Structure 1
Amino acid sequence: MLDDRANTRTPIWGGDRLDLDAYLERVGFRGRVEPGIDTLRELQYAHVTTFPFENLDAFLRRPMSLDLDTLQDKMVRGRRGGYCFEQASLFAAVLERVGFSVTGLLGRVQKGSTAVRPPTHAMLRVETAESAADGRSWLCDAGFGEGQLAPIELADGATAARGGWSYRLTRGAPVPGADGWLFHGLRGGEWFHLHSVTLDPRVPVDYTVANHYVSTHPRSPFSGRLWVQRLGDGLLHQLDGTTLSAFQPDTPVGEMEWTRQIATSVVPEVLAEVFGIVLDEADAAAVVDRLAAQQREAAVSAA
């Protein structure tokens, strides 16, 4: 049930066009919906554990629209997932509809690297009904794949944990001279730098520009590589092309709990059974054909 006290800020993320009931049904959220920290925590968990991270449309070289109606058709009604720009855009609309104050952010994916990476990862800064009194705001990442099951406070040294996964936020410079934040996940007992972010406000058109680059640039990992992840309590499944693997919070960085190669023909079945992504016959065939073509190209290059 939506709290009628939800704020009346001018919506920029499409919250006024969101089918909230359909979304809440999709993620299995029950109870009163209001813009407080408890609701934010439960929505974050429900969203991330429901929607897998996936780049199937980019992999198939299809347009990646961030239009809210398109996202609802795909992710809510079509029972698909999405990658960070899709996930953040949908989640921003949800939070906006409920009454949270939402600001878009762009981060730099590091995954342990010290190189300067482009700002290609979408996240959200969220203020709750309590923020006016306590001054606290929260970093929410709905589309990192191996990211957050819980929002984390924007405070130096803040930690959060849910479902066996732990996170930490520290002050740091994403690029020289920038004032920002470094986000870490606990992996195998060690803090692993996953991404960095500044608090420069971003609006939907900024996501549109970055989304176009990430989904179409020939050097983007998402335009030429099938990449699917699903995060749950104590376990993350991952599909990289035809390599299926999984790891747990105590799995050391760079290792997997288990890994196996699968045939291209069974990828649609794995997408359905492991990741909850059910493709129609045409899309399933397109994915199999593209993977098979990549394997033939790799064999020719290796010969």
Structure 2
Amino acid sequence: MSDTVWGGDQLDLDAYLARIGYEGERTPTEATLRELHARHAAAFGFENLEIILGRPVPLDLKSLQEKMVGRRRGGYCYEQNLLYAAALDRLGFRVSGLGARIRMGESKIRPVTHALLKVRLDGEDWITDVGFGGEALLAPVPLREGIEVRQGGWTFGLVREAPEGAEGADTACGTWVLRSRHEDGWFDLYAFGPEARYPADYGVFNYYISSHPRSPFTGRLVVQQPGPDLRRTLIGTELTLTRPDWSRVVRQVPAEELPAVLESDFGLVLDERDAAELVALHREQPVA
């Protein structure tokens, strides 16, 4: 992929690396990839604030840097993975984009709406995805059939499925499925194929997800932060803390406390205008 695809030549790499707290080598190695993924995931919260405040979600790199690096905000999958892809590209990694169908434990076929990345490294493909939210990977995963990896207190796996309607077919031609081990067994997160996706594709997906009334992100606040030993999720005004033993603490957050919770629990810093609009919006939708 050339610089013109992912925009690595337009990235303020020093500012991005400072934002995520990375001080390591700037070479395209497995160690660098692992550290970048982990630090990006820890630094940027998954959030849809622009959407619920009635604003567009631009995906050009200048806008992403200004929002996520300059204003210390987060973003959802397209924003997160496009900024991350630019950094990987700038550091010399061979990056390509992929598209996934969200499953979240269900078998019904949804449209391709999720963005993730593939990196070719030392003759092997790796999946690296910093934009999935609450159950996001904390590190890259080799793209291998049947692999299981432990990341902090969580376990992920990759399997391949035969093409739809092709009983007994070779799974080598089928779909990859990223899974998470839950307390009652494996839980499908999303399914993806080999077709390369580009920023232009993500722009189309982004328009649908940020504007369609049936999108899961247009009608309620969604903020998530995965961590090695704790997953934080804020849906509307309900804050849930989940630990690897699947114990949960749930509480309702009053509208006036939302900006403070976003900063303390998710590292999202809102300016005065955004904080006021967020509080006003949720005062109009009181906690049940």
TM-score by length of 1: 0.88
Alignment-derived partner of residue 170 in structure 2: none
Aligned 8 A contact 2:3 2:9 in 1: no
1:249 to 244, 251, 260: 244
2:235 to 230, 236, 240: 240
Superposed displacement of residue 176, structure 1: 5.5
**Equivalent AA in structure 2 for residue 263 of structure 1:** P
Matched, 1:68 2:57: no
2:7 to 11, 14, 35: 14
Alignment-derived partner of residue 289 in structure 1: 280
Superposed displacement of residue 173, structure 1: 5.3
Aligned 8 A contact 1:11 1:96 in 2: no
Further displaced range: 24-33 or 200-209: 24-33
SS in 2 for 1:142: coil
TM-score by length of 2: 0.93
In 2 relative to 1, CA 26–118 (structure 1 residues): closer, same or farther, beyond 3 Å?
same
Return the alpha-carbon distance in structure 1 between the equivalents of residues 226 and 31 of structure 2.
21
Superposed displacement of residue 249, structure 1: 2.1
Alignment-derived partner of residue 151 in structure 2: 162
Superposed displacement of residue 158, structure 1: 1.5
Return the alpha-carbon distance in structure 2 between the equivalents of residues 150 and 165 of structure 1.
11
Alignment-derived partner of residue 197 in structure 2: 202
Q: Deviations over 1:14-36 (max 9, x none)?
A: 10001111111111111212111
Aligned 8 A contact 2:3 2:90 in 1: no
SS in 1 for 2:155: strand
Displaced runs of 4+ in structure 1, greater than 6 A? none
1:225 to 220, 225, 231: 220
Superposed displacement of residue 190, structure 1: 2.4
Alignment-derived partner of residue 45 in structure 2: 52
Superposed displacement of residue 211, structure 1: 0.4
Counterparts in 2 of 1:211-222, with a 5 A limit?
211-222=206-217
SS in 1 for 2:6: coil
Structure 1: runs of 5+ lacking an equivalent: 1-7
Q: Percent identity?
A: 46
In 2 relative to 1, CA 144–233 (structure 1 residues): closer, same or farther, beyond 3 Å?
same
Superposed displacement of residue 257, structure 1: 1.1
Superposed displacement of residue 179, structure 1: 2.1
Alignment-derived partner of residue 23 in structure 2: 30
Alignment-derived partner of residue 142 in structure 1: 130
Aligned 8 A contact 1:174 1:198 in 2: no
Matched, 1:260 2:254: no
Q: Deviations over 1:135-155 (max 9, x none)?
A: x10111110112100111111
Q: Deviations over 1:240-281 (max 9, x none)?
A: 000001112221xxxx51101111111111111111111111
SS in 2 for 1:294: coil
Superposed displacement of residue 188, structure 1: 2.4
In 2 relative to 1, CA 170–245 (structure 1 residues): closer, same or farther, beyond 3 Å?
same
Further displaced range: 182-191 or 256-265: 182-191
Return the alpha-carbon distance in structure 1 between the equivalents of residues 139 and 162 of structure 2.
23
Aligned 8 A contact 2:96 2:197 in 1: yes
Aligned 8 A contact 2:223 2:234 in 1: yes
Return the alpha-carbon distance in structure 2 between the equivalents of residues 179 and 287 of structure 1.
43
Alignment-derived partner of residue 82 in structure 1: 75
In 2 relative to 1, CA 33–58 (structure 1 residues): closer, same or farther, beyond 3 Å?
same
Return the alpha-carbon distance in structure 2 between the equivalents of residues 264 and 159 of structure 1.
41
Superposed displacement of residue 189, structure 1: 6.2
2:178 to 183, 197, 212: 183
Return the alpha-carbon distance in structure 2 between the equivalents of residues 30 and 16 of structure 1.
20
Aligned 8 A contact 1:174 1:181 in 2: no
Aligned 8 A contact 2:24 2:32 in 1: no
Return the alpha-carbon distance in structure 1 between the equivalents of residues 191 and 8 of structure 2.
27
Return the alpha-carbon distance in structure 1 between the equivalents of residues 3 and 47 of structure 2.
31
Further displaced range: 72-81 or 167-176: 167-176
SS in 2 for 1:137: strand
